[in-house]
Amino acid sequence: MNPVELMMRRRNVDAFEKADPIELVILRAPEPTKSDAGGWVQGPAEPLLPPFDKQSARIVHNTRRYKAGLVNTEAGDIPDTDYLLIGAHTLSVQEDDVFVWRGDYYKITGVHPWRFESKLCSLQFSGPPNRS
């Protein structure tokens, strides 16, 4: 890709993100460690250290048509929303990272591997925390 075109694409992504930004505090689970009993134990997710402790990005809907965002099931309504996270190419995220925005949990389920002008991630909407 032409360096000038890459620079212009990155500027476009920056302007798109700044139009409706969110501030992210990414929670990343550490690598599993071996316990005294000999099994592997996964520790709790912790926020990233500076300079990646507070990052900005934008959440966009992945659907082009309006839909209710709910599926009616026997157990009640459950959310059915498709979201994408787009940010600068320097955004430090990876699969299985979690963040909270407006009291709802989101999980990054995939990162687009071939984008050079931005980071594009698919999100899983988990809703409000269900543990006290």
* Distant-in-sequence, close-in-space partners of 90: CB < 8 Å, separation ≥ 6: none
Ranking 4-18, 41-55, 86-100 by mean pLDDT, the lowest is: 41-55
* Distant-in-sequence, close-in-space partners of 74: CB < 8 Å, separation ≥ 6: none
Interval 16-68: pLDDT, tens: 999 999 998 888 888 888 888 888 888 788 888 777 778 999 999 877 666 66
In the chain, where does DSSP find H-type helix? Answer: 3-19
pTM score, whole prediction: 0.77
Q: Is 127 in contact with 108 (CB distance < 8 Å)?
A: no
Domains of the chain: 3-29+44-127 (2.40.10)
User: In this predicted structure, what is the pLDDT of residue 69?
Assistant: 63
Please provide the average confidence, as pLDDT, over all residues in the chain: 84
Interval 110-126: pLDDT, tens: 888 888 899 999 898 88
Closest among 13, 87, 16 to 57, alpha carbons compared: 87
Reduce the DSSP state of residue 116 to 3 states and report it.
coil
* Distant-in-sequence, close-in-space partners of 3: CB < 8 Å, separation ≥ 6: none
